[in-house]
Structure 1
Amino acid sequence: MKPRDLFMALLIVTIWGANFTVIKLGLADIPPMLLAGLRYVFATLPAIFFIKRPNISWKYLALYGLTVGIGQFSCLFYALKIGMPAGIASIVLQAQPFFTVIFSAFLFKESLYRLQILGFAIAFTGLYLIGGDTSGVPLPLAAFLLTILAACFWSISNIVIRYSAIEATQKQEKLDMLAVVIWSSLLLPVPFFLLALLFNSPQELLSVVTNLKPSSLAAVLYLALGATVFACGMWNILLSKYSPTKIAPLSLLVPVTGLITANLVLGEQLSFWQTLGGIIIILALLVLNFKSLPWANAFKAK
């Protein structure tokens, strides 16, 4: 990989890792569902006028938006609002690959391999250590469970994308993930604003929007333009230039950058057992992605 592309990949995983801290900062002044809705407003406009709609049916766009948008981010944003630490959230959300493997095995009749089962066992050990220890950063049970549910919704969205890719292939086209993100985002602001009305009055929401602080606006723009449009767009460009086996493993750095950012900006300090749980989950991700890692070939039979 060229040094410039490697730098871009590291920048992207840093943006995605810091995403959790930025959400936490944004939630200081903006209710969770309103923040999510504003994120998708700015993620859609004006990008939708420049990016062609992906050639897949609207049902897949709607299902993707429902799962990765409404499902994942409503759970994640609310979890962070009620006390989920940003750093731990960046780790726990990485449970999504394990759910994805389970759903794929059920829906596509794919076999589970020993390495995958080992990865599951290691990951659940890490989740148990993080969720069961209260001596470090306070971790409300409801917030912890909502973050796991967010990971579950994210994994379901991966299944939707797989079906979408199959449909695109049948049309002899390649699925443009940035286009999927942008056009599915078009469907999300209104549902999020309706959800916001369940938690806050119209007057409260209007007051927040009309009195939006510069720091809050910066958080919204970061989530929409930085973490969504820029990071997703550049990630797709890298995937078009290099094999996924070279690019995908770099996403394992997201929880690392998430923890570092939460520590530097929010002052989050993890206990020994929470730290160990995080390391164990990252180890589980390495096991699950072993065949994709650069050094995997060294273990193949000669």
Structure 2
Amino acid sequence: MSFKHCLLAVSVAVMWGLNFLAIDFSLEQFPPFFLVALRFAVLALPALLFVPKPDVKFRWIVGYGLGFGLLQFLFLYWAMAAGMPAGLASLVLQASGPFTVLLGMTFLRERVRGSQMAFLLVAMAGLGVVGWQRLDSSASLLPFLLTLAGAFGWAIGNICNRQAHSVEPVKFTMWMSVVPPVPMLLLALLIEGPATIGQSLTTLMTPTGWLGLAGLAYTVIIATILGSGIWSWLMSRNPAGVVAPFSMLVPIVGMSAAWFVLGETVSLGEMCGAVLVIIGVLGAGMRAAKGPKILAEVVPTDVEDVADVPAGTR
């Protein structure tokens, strides 16, 4: 993975880390399931009307929309509405990194180095520590488990994204947004009810409403179109297990922003778990990146290079 690609991955992590604040503001105004439907409906309408379909198989658009779009945000927004702090959610959701590596091993036959697997086990141990800290009450454990379910949805989306090999990441992201709105709107009407949805729409001109709209705008434009577009571009050009661990930079931004803006704090045990997760997944990402680099050094790029490669490495 080149230095330029690394910088792009870091920029996406910053966009997504700040997005947890935007989601928190939006959930103060909108019920969670309706907010997911609204988030993607804002993207789906212009996609259907003005954006040509990307040149990828339709099943990967549906798979990405179901995993990255519907499952991830259904469970994440549900978790945050149920009491998951924004900063901690930004950490637990990054279990998508280890989940993506494991799914890549299982379904894409991607190779994982022994040292990389050791770091992934450290990351999973860190998540176990956070989960153990959440066991103090069933009310706090449920949001933790819901966020983990969202992380698994993100990992499914990563695998579909990787398989799509799209060279049109913005188009791919826009068309992915066509999948979640209808099922999420039906779920919102069934569970949250028309009255709750109607109230969230008729109170938009209040201060809370303006903050909710601003959060929604950030989520749609910055986090989804720009951030997910860059992420799709990176996924199409690098192994899923190399790109995915960069998402572990998200909680550094998310937890810092939540502390600074919302005054959120975490327990000492949760902080220790967070450190383990970040060390584990970043370490796994760096070990995964070394494999392609070493290969590039010993494998010739054209016929003329063959003569320069030592016999023992051919």
Classify the TM-score, shorter chain: 0.7 to 0.9
TM-score using structure 2 length = 0.79
Decide which of 260, 279, 290 is 1:264's aligned counterpart: 260
- The match for 1:99 is 99
Give, in angstroms, the shift of residue 62 of structure 1.
1.4
Alignment gaps of 5+ in structure 1? 166-173
- Is the CA contact 1:249–1:292 (under 8 Å) kept in the aligned structure 2? no
Change (3 A) 1:70 1:251: closer
Decide which of 186, 189, 205 is 1:197's aligned counterpart: 189
Residues 1-302 of structure 1 aligned to structure 2 (within 5 Å): 11-46=11-46, 49-133=49-133, 140-165=140-165, 174-212=166-204, 213-234=209-230, 251-291=247-287
Secondary structure, in 3 states, of the residue corresponding to 1:289? Answer: helix
Give, in angstroms, the shift of residue 158 of structure 1.
1.6
Secondary structure, in 3 states, of the residue corresponding to 1:268? Answer: coil
Instruction: Give per-residue Cα distances to partners, 1:201-238, cap 9 Å, x unaligned.
Output: 21321221232211111111111112111223455678
TM-score using structure 1 length = 0.82
Using the alignment, how far apart are the partners of 2:64 and 2:3 within structure 1? 33
Instruction: Give per-residue Cα distances to partners, 1:184-210, cap 9 Å, x unaligned.
Output: 102221111111112222132122123
- Is the CA contact 1:85–1:139 (under 8 Å) kept in the aligned structure 2? no
Give, in angstroms, the shift of residue 61 of structure 1.
1.2
Using the alignment, how far apart are the partners of 2:288 and 2:104 within structure 1? 18
AA of the residue aligned to 1:215: L
Change (3 A) 1:264 1:53: same
Alignment gaps of 5+ in structure 2? 298-314
- Between 1:51-60 and 1:246-255, the stretch displaced more is 246-255
Identity %: 33
- Between 1:110-119 and 1:143-152, the stretch displaced more is 110-119
Give, in angstroms, the shift of residue 14 of structure 1.
2.1
AA of the residue aligned to 1:89: A
Number of matched residues?
288
Give, in angstroms, the shift of residue 113 of structure 1.
2.6
Using the alignment, how far apart are the partners of 1:70 and 1:275 within structure 2? 29
Q: Please report the RMSD computed on the Cα atoms of aligned residues, expressed in angstroms.
A: 3.4
Give, in angstroms, the shift of residue 243 of structure 1.
11
